[in-house]
Amino acid sequence: MNTKVSDTIAEHSLIKENASILIALSGGADSLALADFLIKRKETFKIANIYAMHINHMIRADADENQIFVESFCEDRGIQFFTERFDVPALSKESKESLELCGRRVRYEALERKAFELDALIATAHTMSDSAETVIFNLARGTGLKGLCGIPVKRENIIRPLTGVTKSEVLDYCRQNGLEWYEDSTNKDNSYSRNKIRNVVINTLSEINPNLIANISCSSELFAVDEDYMGKQASAVFENIICGNNSLKTAELEHCHQALVRRIIVLFLEKNGIRVSQKSVLDICKRLKSNYFKINICKDTFLILKNGELSAIKRQIIETKEKNVDLNIKSIQKIHKNLVNDIIDCDKIIGGICVSSRMVGDRITLQKRRVTKSLKKLFIEEKIPAEQRSSVVVLRDDEGIVWVEGFGADLRVCCDQDTKEGIIPEIKDGYEYES
């Protein structure tokens, strides 16, 4: 292991002279092996300072015991130790993330904060085996070439010196150097996706080919080279066709290979802070051949293709171009009773009203029906053609939907015997675009 790790550090120039390093120390065999290796070679690599940080996720009953164990390891070796505690189970419920995803997020956020404070690199103990697990995990959930590249040896200020060695080589190192590690009890819990891949999938595939981990690692290196080249080509084209108003000139994509088109669309989405699945990206690519489309790509953002330009528009500033909307405020006493279900009570509006199209998950409770239904279901029941549904006007306040064209006001804002003034939306036909 010593030679392989040293070669990885040298080949990728992971540690510059007089660098400070913050080791992410979980207490497992991998992180202890990394810490021991770097501490013993501090002079060899001319490292200025070595620190360690442990994140207590408060998931396991023995989490505090684990923390004490790691702290003792650092104290015995004269390494400055830092720790932070996060109630990951509570945080994951609040953020609606899985325990794994939430734990990873808070861990890296804490490491980044401390590394910035110390002006240090972050060293994590990911191995070749971890990288293979990542490839299989990404492949199982659907990925492009980038997801098959495994865990990078270096990313910004994060270095991973152990990516050239397997888990078994790490365990051999620990035994040979008399290192005792803290075994995470959750590692055997196959309800976690990573554990199932590690304990079941990897073992099963290794029975087919014992060189599985090394073969995946070799393939990942080849994929990474290809991805780097394709990424640079896509970036060059992207810079030439992105407009000053942050829209994309799609006519230029007609002469590009689909491999580049897909990457360019991903770059465009990332520039606008949008993250979607590969399936959604492919769907957008297919729609680029049309003259016009409008897609609710995520909760509050629409993609609009018009006049050869693709734009990402936030819901708050969307105004339907097909129609104009006048919001007329009138005394409720002067309104005909047949229009009551269409009136919005001014006093029940929360914040201001904005004009938009429908969004995924939109629901409304109509006064005359007293049943909450999704707009999708209402549109289907009323036999509104799919191609026309995105042009139906939806009014919202800070609380949610207040009115839908052709259906009326939501029960929450409907007028009643106490209503003094009401809003009567008036739709005026405007421009029509070819779809």
- Please give the mean pLDDT across all residues of the chain: 87
- DSSP conformational letter for 135: H
Are 179 and 195 contained in the same domain? yes
Confidence of residue 120 (pLDDT cuts 50, 70, 90): very high
Asked if residue 222 belongs to a domain, the reply is no
Closest CA to 379 of 366, 368, 367, 392: 392
Confidence of residue 295 (pLDDT cuts 50, 70, 90): confident
Asked if residue 224 belongs to a domain, the reply is no
Are 334 and 372 contained in the same domain? yes
- Which 3 state secondary structure label does DSSP give 380? helix
- pLDDT at position 316, please? 44
Q: Which range has the worst mean pLDDT, 111-120, 204-213, 292-301?
A: 292-301
CA angle 412, 417, 419 (to 5 degrees): 65
Confidence of residue 350 (pLDDT cuts 50, 70, 90): confident
Buried b or exposed e, range 336-373, using 16+ CB within 10 angstroms: eeeebbbbbbbebbeeebbbbbbbeebebebbeeeeeb
Q: How many domains does the chain have?
A: 3
- pLDDT per position as a tens digit, 203-259: 999 999 999 999 999 999 999 999 999 999 999 999 999 987 678 998 889 889 999
Q: Which of 153, 186, 210 is the last residue of a domain?
A: 210
Residue 176 is which amino acid? Q
Are 259 and 378 contained in the same domain? no
Are 349 and 373 contained in the same domain? yes
Q: Which of 286, 316, 346 is the last residue of a domain?
A: 316
- pLDDT at position 400, please? 85
**Number of Cβ within a 10 Å radius of residue 232:** 10
Closest CA to 245 of 322, 312, 159, 170: 312
The residues, any chain, with a CB within 8 Å of residue 48's CB and separated by 6 or more, are 18, 19, 20
Confidence of residue 428 (pLDDT cuts 50, 70, 90): low
The CATH number of the domain holding residue 206 is 3.40.50.620
**pLDDT, average across residues 264-283:** 88
pLDDT at residue 151 above 80? Answer: yes
- pLDDT at position 336, please? 56
Instruction: List the domain range (segments joined by +) for residue 388.
Output: 323-429
pLDDT at residue 278 above 90? Answer: no
Are 194 and 138 contained in the same domain? yes
Confidence of residue 280 (pLDDT cuts 50, 70, 90): confident
Backbone angles phi, psi at 120, to 5 degrees: -130, 155
- pLDDT at position 36, please? 95
Q: Rounded to an integer, what distance in angstroms lies between the CA atom of residue 306 and that of residue 297?
A: 16
Are 94 and 177 contained in the same domain? yes
Are 132 and 258 contained in the same domain? no
Q: Give 429 or 319, the one with higher predicted confidence.
A: 429
Are 192 and 331 contained in the same domain? no
- pLDDT per position as a tens digit, 302-349: 788 888 889 887 754 344 445 666 666 666 655 555 567 788 888 888
Region of 427 (left: φ > 0; alpha: ψ -120 to 50; beta: rest) is beta
**pLDDT, average across residues 58-85:** 93
- pLDDT per position as a tens digit, 353-374: 778 888 878 899 988 778 898 9
- pLDDT at position 340, please? 72
- pLDDT at position 189, please? 80
- pLDDT at position 141, please? 84
User: Which percentage of the chain shows pLDDT scores above 90?
Assistant: 54
pTM over 0.75: no
Cα(first)–Cα(last) distance of the chain, in Å? 61
- pLDDT at position 220, please? 94
pLDDT at residue 85 above 90? Answer: yes
Contacts 24+ apart (CB under 8 A), 233-242: 233/260, 234/260, 234/263, 234/264, 234/267, 235/267, 237/264, 238/264, 238/267, 238/268, 242/268, 242/271
For 291, the token pair is: 């003259």
Q: Give 434 or 66, the one with higher predicted confidence.
A: 66
Q: Which of 262, 291, 316 is the last residue of a domain?
A: 316
User: Which percentage of the chain shows pLDDT scores above 70?
Assistant: 91
Backbone angles phi, psi at 243, to 5 degrees: -90, 165
Asked if residue 216 belongs to a domain, the reply is no
In 124-179 the beta strands, taken as DSSP E runs, fall at 154-155, 158-159
